[in-house]
């Protein structure tokens, strides 16, 4: 059994980790921390866990967390980087679901997140936790940076094209749409039901924090620089991301369907749909699956990849557990067999 702790268990990624971990056959939950809720039963805050979890929230102390084999950080950006070095020193592995360890360049981090990085040395050893790219590195890692939700959907959509160098990498467009849970559980006017339902809008057009993360990943795959326009949108639903990825193919004779199927043939959580299909976000709701389809409309140069995930699962908690499984020598898919909830 892996002894697991969660720091910051009150947000949506926290409760989603709990939903998945309480049923994970190889995990023992030993600590769920929340400074604001310490002492309260977790299931009082999240009644869906009544009968599944008896733990109370506890204080996020080093002492409390050092008893764990692995700790998940489901905290706001900037929290994990202050605690991770101490945990590593105690022999505790870490998966950070926030952005602290995602950008390899500390200057880029400071620019996009507005604060200096607190542990640049540790940053160097952090592995970017996209198993479809870094599986072997993740197995050896002590600290894994769990990818953002948009970056997961967009990278999995572009990877086969960029790895093969068959599209113009200077001119990529990712038009991405997210459900509202991506904005978290903080009280804010913009995500009230009366503001966000029955409406659709773009946001962060001038520059979203996931842009440098996506670019970094795509450039590694392409092994060259990449030009990316990334426009995120808010769509009136709870869960789900749909990325529509546009690029210009350099050679129209390539069989894109076969390319995608071959690239992901051994991946347990990537499903390439048949030619002509269009995945719905609900077809992955509650599951760790990324579902893809590839099109070249009217036989032209433009390749359109449709990529859907559940932002809270493959885009956060599920992928974090996939990483934990790899880091702890478990079956990669353990505890992640949920069938999507439909309708």
Helix (H, G, I), strand (E, B) or coil at 44: helix
Determine which one of 68, 149, 245, 290 is catalytic.
Answer: 149
Distances (CA, A) of 32 to 17, 51, 285: 10, 16, 25
CA distance 44 to 48: 9
Q: At closest approach, how far in Å is the CB of 264 from its own copies?
A: 12
Which of residues 130 and 336 has its CB atom nearest to its own copies in the complex? 336
Cis peptide leading into residue 59 (ω within 30°): no
CA distance 179 to 237: 5
CB 141, min distance to its own copies, A: 27
Q: Residue 149 catalytic?
A: yes
Query: Shortest Cβ distance from residue 249 to its own copies (Å)?
Result: 12
CA distance between the termini of the chain = 34
Nearer to its own copies, 92 or 176 (CB): 176
- Smallest separation (angstroms) from its own copies to the CB of 293: 8
Q: Give the Cβ contact number of residue 219 at 10 Å.
A: 15
- State residue 172 phi and psi, 5-degree precision: -105, 145
CB 222 within 8 A of CB 289: no
Beta bridge partners of residue 2, listed in sequence order: 27
Residues in the chain: 343
Given the complex with its own copies, which of 151 and 240 has the nearer CB atom? 240
What does the alpha-carbon distance between residue 284 and residue 234 come to, in Å, rounded to a whole number?
18
Nearer to its own copies, 91 or 207 (CB): 207
Contact 203, 234 (CB under 8 A): yes
Partners of residue 201 on adjacent β-strands: 234
Report in angstroms how near the CB of residue 256 gets to its own copies at its nearest: 13
CB of 180 to its own copies, least distance (A): 5
**Main-chain phi, psi angles of 193, to 5 degrees:** -55, -40
| Residue 136 or 331 having the CB closest to its own copies | 331
Which is it for the CA torsion 104, 174, 319, 257, positive or negative? negative
Main-chain phi, psi angles of 267, to 5 degrees: -85, 125
Identify which of residues 164 and 302 has a Cβ nearer to its own copies in the complex: 302
Residues assigned a catalytic role: 149
């Amino acid at each position: 059994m892996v002894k697991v702790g969660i720091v910051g268990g009150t947000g949506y990624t926290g409760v989603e980790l709990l939903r998945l971990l309480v049923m994970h056959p190889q995990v023992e939950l030993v600590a769920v921390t929340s400074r604001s809720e310490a002492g309260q039963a977790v299931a009082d805050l999240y009644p869906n866990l009544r009968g599944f979890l008896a733990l109370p929230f506890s204080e996020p102390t080093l002492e409390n967390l050092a008893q764990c084999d692995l700790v998940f950080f489901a905290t706001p950006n900037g929290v994990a980087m202050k605690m991770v070095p101490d945990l590593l020193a105690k022999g505790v592995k870490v998966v950070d679901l926030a952005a602290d360890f995602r950008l390899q360049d500390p200057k880029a981090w400071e620019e996009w997140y507005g604060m200096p990085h607190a542990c640049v040395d540790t940053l160097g050893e952090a592995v970017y936790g996209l198993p479809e790219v870094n599986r072997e590195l993740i197995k050896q890692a002590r600290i894994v940076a769990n990818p953002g939700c948009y970056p997961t959907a967009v990278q999995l959509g572009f990877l086969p094209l960029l790895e093969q160098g068959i599209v113009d990498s200077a001119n990529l467009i990712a038009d991405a749409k997210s459900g509202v849970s991506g904005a978290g559980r903080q009280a804010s006017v913009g995500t009230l039901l009366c503001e966000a339902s029955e409406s659709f809008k773009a946001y962060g057009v001038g520059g979203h924090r996931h842009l440098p993360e996506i670019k970094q990943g795509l450039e590694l795959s392409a092994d060259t620089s990449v030009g990316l326009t990334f426009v995120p949108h808010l769509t009136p639903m709870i869960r789900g991301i749909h990325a529509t990825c546009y690029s210009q193919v350099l050679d129209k004779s390539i069989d894109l369907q076969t390319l995608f199927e071959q690239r992901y043939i051994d991946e347990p959580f990537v499903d390439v749909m048949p030619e002509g299909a269009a995945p719905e976000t609900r077809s992955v709701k509650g599951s760790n699956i990324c579902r893809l389809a590839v099109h070249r409309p009217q036989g032209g140069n433009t390749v359109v990849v449709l990529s859907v995930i559940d932002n809270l699962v493959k885009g956060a908690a599920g992928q974090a557990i996939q990483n934990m499984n790899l880091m702890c020598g478990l079956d990669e898919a353990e505890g992640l067999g949920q069938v999507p909830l439909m309708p």
